[in-house]
């Protein structure tokens, strides 16, 4: 039997997961475990490049882990762990800092963006974190790294660093390929349908753990369109607000746009918006309840991240030992 290809993804616990994250990506992740050996980690070490409130960071890290399990990432089939629990990330991160060029780091668009947003805290970690990201990836010798548009540059840098290191010391790192994930619906903000749903616009964003009444309120206030037609019809150019609500309704119910149009024929937006809200509440209910149950079971959550870190450390240590030997460190 062929060994599964390895896939790795790190997620910063910088905020609550929302409907756009879930319908656009996370919902498809559970099925990946059938095809790939998957590693998912909470990238808490990356999060501190921007100042964090310690208690909030601890809480969010565990909440995010609980939510991923509730969304279908089975810990028996996926390796789930917290980055700071696997010391090899920091150790290889330092080594790869020494094989990543200053010019390469200064060209990273995310550094420029974050430096502009956090001008009072342009720290060394903010500048060099792509080297830590390269270490995060290369430790596990993955075949694939799922990337969105905003991270392609970092995976390209990781490949450059791996090839540079291999060019000096021989075949140490597998050079990973970017994996463009199968995406679900592209969900837009409820109050600004020309922008993607984002936690930075909370009024237009539906969070997975939000109370049903708050979700319903947001859908009732959702922007539809300024026309006087008041009919449910899929027209992304002319009726972007309605088209977004139809995309959400379709994603959570499985109904086609034609079926949705027929269902709400002659009813207008006053009936349609609350119906979408109800459908979303019901789709998220099992996730919300399961995540809350997991958060309440501290022993279970701890057993998941401990077992994940143990497996991750075992794999990571093999790579780190090989790297240390190649660069001339005395074996410990």
Residue among 283, 307, 280 nearest 71 (CA): 283
- Separation CA 30–CA 14 (nearest Å): 22
- Separation CA 10–CA 61 (nearest Å): 12
SS3 206: coil
190 neighbors 219 (Cβ within 8 angstroms)? yes
Instruction: Supply the residues annotated as catalytic.
Output: 114, 196, 199
Residue among 216, 211, 210 nearest 190 (CA): 216
Q: Could you tell me the two tokens for 313?
A: 């450390």
Q: Could you tell me the two tokens for 243?
A: 């088209």
Q: What letter would DSSP give residue 188?
A: B
- Separation CA 223–CA 82 (nearest Å): 39
SS3 223: coil
SS3 148: coil
């Amino acid at each position: 039997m062929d060994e599964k290809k390895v896939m790795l993804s790190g997620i910063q616990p910088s905020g609550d997961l929302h409907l756009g994250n879930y319908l656009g990506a996370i919902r498809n992740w559970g099925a990946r475990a059938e095809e790939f050996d998957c590693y998912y980690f909470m990238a808490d070490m990356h999060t501190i490049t921007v100042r964090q409130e310690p208690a909030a960071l601890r809480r969010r890290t565990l909440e995010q882990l609980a939510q991923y399990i509730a969304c279908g990432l089975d810990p028996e089939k996926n390796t789930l762990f917290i980055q700071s629990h696997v010391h090899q990330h920091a150790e290889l991160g330092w080594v790869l800092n020494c094989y990543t060029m200053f010019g390469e780091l200064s060209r990273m668009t995310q550094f420029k963006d974050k430096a502009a947003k956090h001008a009072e805290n342009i720290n060394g970690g903010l500048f060099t974190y792509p080297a830590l990201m390269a270490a995060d990836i290369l430790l596990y010798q993955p075949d694939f790294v799922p990337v969105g548009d905003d991270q392609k540059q970092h995976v390209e840098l990781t490949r450059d660093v791996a090839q540079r290191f291999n060019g000096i010391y021989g075949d140490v790192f597998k050079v990973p390929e970017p994996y463009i994930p199968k995406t679900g619906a592209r969900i837009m903000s409820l109050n600004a349908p020309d922008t993607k749903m984002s936690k930075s616009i909370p009024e237009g964003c539906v969070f997975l753990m939000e109370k049903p009444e708050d979700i319903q309120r947001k859908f009732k206030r959702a922007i539809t369109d300024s026309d006087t037609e008041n009919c449910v019809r899929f027209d992304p150019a002319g009726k972007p607000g309605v088209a977004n609500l139809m995309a959400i309704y379709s994603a959570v119910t499985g109904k086609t746009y034609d079926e949705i149009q027929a269902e709400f024929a002659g009813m207008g937006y006053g009936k349609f918006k609350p119906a979408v809200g109800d459908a979303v509440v019901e789709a998220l209910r099992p996730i919300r309840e399961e995540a809350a149950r997991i958060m309440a079971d501290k022993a279970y959550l701890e057993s998941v991240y401990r077992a994940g870190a143990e497996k991750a450390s075992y794999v990571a240590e093999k790579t780190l030992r090989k790297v240390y030997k190649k660069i001339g460190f005395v074996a410990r």
